Amino acid sequence: MSRVYSLIVFSICAFIASGCAQNKDYVVTIRTDYGDMVAILYDETPKHKQNFIKLAKEHYFDSTLFHRVIAGFMIQGGDPDSKKAQPGAPLGRGGPGYTIEAEFNPKLIHARGALSAARLSNQQNPSKASSGSQFYIVQGSKMTEEELKLDQAKFDVALQRFFQNPANRSAYDSIVSLYQSGDIKKYQAMLIHLKPRVEKETGIEIDRELTPEKLKVYTTVGGAPNLDGEYTVFGKIIQGLDVLDKIAAVETQPGDRPVVDVRMVVSVEQMPKKKIEKIYGYHYPENN
């Protein structure tokens, strides 16, 4: 076989292999006593995707806990320190000893079922780099268009100025009372009710622009829009959202750790994208 012919054959084989790889994807299965959750990981966040697959293949996540659970918000896990943690012990600081550079993408949002990377606070972590292993799955809730358009950072500044006026003391007392009662829906409703008055008195415009796509998702599917642009979304639950709801509903203790441990076993399997679409009903954008 001539050298030129060998090179041609090699190129053709490489091209075929590349095409096959592009037509396959990894499926993540998170097994718990409450059932299984199945996820896909986004190609738009390659560093997070490759890292999660690597750790799963190494059985890094096996026997770790969902150590932080907040109903109506999210469930968090992936801390290696949780494998042998004593009951009630604080968790959330463990990891593989490295972080991952943030991979924000405006198209990947914190809709219900989003798989996202946990991280340290902005004060400790101004670059918003992700934890090497800890992740969370968004449960969230549906929101109204008025709630979604509210720019919380601007509103906080405006509220501080608004409440400095002694004439607004009664409104302040009502807000504090609702917050302390734990009735978040009524608390949020009162903030929305106060918004026009706060804007008028302070001169601060509080609304923010949102794409029609985001408005549709967060008002119909739900999620946690306040996390967008702050934490990297790198995957999505495509089966087992009922399991997410079951875990989110467990009894927790101070610190948001479940009273009864919720352990996980995580595995990954590569399969054709067409098979993934057929089995799980997920549709890849390029195939639509």
Domain annotation for the chain: domains and CATH numbers: 25-143+212-287 (2.40.100.10), 151-202 (no CATH)
Interval 74-129: pLDDT, tens:
999 999 999 999 998 999 999 999 999 999 999 999 999 999 999 999 999 999 99
Q: What is the pTM of this model?
A: 0.85
Total residue count of the chain as it appears in this document? 288
Summarize the confidence of residues 27-31 as an average pLDDT. 98
Instruction: Indicate if the pLDDT at residue 251 is higher than 80.
Output: yes
pLDDT-derived band at 172 (thresholds 50, 70, 90) equals very high
Note the pLDDT of residue 2. Answer: 52
pLDDT for the residue numbered 108: 98
- Residue 9: per-residue pLDDT: 47
Give dist(CA 91, CA 106) in Å, integer.
30
Could you tell me where the DSSP H helices lie in 182-232? 184-202, 212-220
3-state secondary structure of 63: coil
**What's the Rg (C-alpha) of the chain?**
23
pLDDT surpasses 50 at 16: no
pLDDT at 147: 87
pLDDT of 3: 52
Element (H, E) at 92: none
* Sequence-distant (≥ 6) Cβ neighbours of residue 94 within 8 angstroms: 79, 80, 81, 82, 133, 134
